Amino acid sequence: MVGLNHFLVLSAILFSLGVYVVVSRRNAVAILMGVELILNSASINFVAFSHYTTSSMGGQMFAIFVIVLAAAESVVALAIVLSIYQQFRTIDADEASTLRE
Amino acid sequence: MQSFNIVVYVFAAIIVASAALVAFSRNLVYSAFALLFTFFGVAGIYVMLSADFLAAVQLLIYVGGILVLIIFAVMLTHRISDVEISNQSLRPAQGALILIGIMAVLLGVIFKTQWSLEGQLEYQATTALIGDLLLKKYLLPFEIVSVLLLAALMGAAVIVRKEVRGEQSGGKS
């Protein structure tokens, strides 16, 4: 019988893979993919708790706001990545180490 | 109930396998397309958790919006010739250590805690309920998020536009 724990374990795996991507990748776009994995795992947690431990829709509302924030975050982050690429000709997060032009 | 379990396990397997491909693939383009399957799997999990509207939103915004943006960014900033170099992992040993540590802590918390399994949401159409809540209980967050989206839109446009202008003046001088 699939219960709450199964979904929590799934989201724990997804979260730690996302943290691994953020920690180990050098490419800024790849780091952004890791952040998306982390946000997805948090949303799964919200929805799973909303389904199994309450009878309210609060968790699903939180997940909707998480999705909206993820969209805003990825738009701004990709704009920054593109402008870093125009400036440095690379999107390696280690190479782009100055704020000035 | 048996088929429910099987479907959940299939979606979970899709999510874990494609997320692992995102994490460990050497090729950034493969990572981007594996992310597509992760998002599809998460949408399936939402359906199994009685969140049908959320699954549709996940498909529309993540797959239709964010993933397309990410793939655009990969194609625009990425020299395909040095795929291997530009997506190499930095410090994979330390990263694996962090991965195992975080997973151990999370799994310990999950299995030690006695979750209070009170009510269960029944499977129903949630769209009308969510619309109702958005305009009543969650009206203020809804308005704040709409202002935030506008700010993000303008911010992204300003960031990209300034750089183009700077490059043009740099080219002239």
Same domain, B74 and B136: no
In whole angstroms, what is the distance from residue B110 CA to residue A4 CA? 9
Residue-number span of the structural domain to which A31 is assigned: 4-88
pLDDT value of residue B54: 92
pLDDT value of residue B154: 92
Judge: A61–B133 Cβ closer than 8 Å, yes or no.
yes
**In terms of C-beta density within 10 A (0-12 exposed, 13-18 middle, 19 or more buried), how is residue B134 classed?**
middle
pLDDT value of residue B16: 94
Judge: A52–B120 Cβ closer than 8 Å, yes or no.
yes
Selecting from A27, A48, A81 the residue whose C-beta is nearest the C-beta of B87 gives: A27
Domain boundary among the residues B41, B66, B88 is at B88
pLDDT value of residue A94: 72
| pLDDT tens digits along B155-166 | 988 888 755 555
CB B42 within 8 A of CB B57: no
Judged by a CB distance cut-off of 8 A, whether residue B55 touches chain A is: no
Question: Could you count the other beta carbons within 10 Å of the beta carbon of residue A26?
Answer: 19
Higher-confidence residue of A96 and B63: namely B63
Number of domains within chain A: 1
Using an 8 Å CB-CB cutoff, list chain B residues near A47.
Answer: 45-46, 49, 51, 54
Judge: A25–B87 Cβ closer than 8 Å, yes or no.
yes
Higher-confidence residue of B1 and B17: namely B17
Residue-number span of the structural domain to which B130 is assigned: 125-173
List of chain A residues with pLDDT < 50: none
Using an 8 Å CB-CB cutoff, list chain B residues near A86.
Answer: 163-164, 167
Using an 8 Å CB-CB cutoff, list chain B residues near A69.
Answer: 145, 148
| pLDDT tens digits along B85-136 | 545 566 778 888 888 999 999 999 988 988 877 767 778 888 898 999 999 9
pLDDT bracket for residue B9 (50, 70, 90): very high
ipTM of the complex: 0.89
Same domain, B132 and B62: no
Number of domains within chain B: 2
pLDDT value of residue B172: 43
pLDDT value of residue B50: 87
In a domain? residue B158:
yes
Burial A39-70 (b: 16+ CB within 10 A, else e): bbbbbbbbbbbbbbbeeebebbbbbbbbbbeb
pLDDT value of residue B13: 95
pLDDT value of residue B166: 53
In a domain? residue B14:
yes
CATH number for the domain spanning A77: value is 1.10.287.3510
In a domain? residue A61:
yes
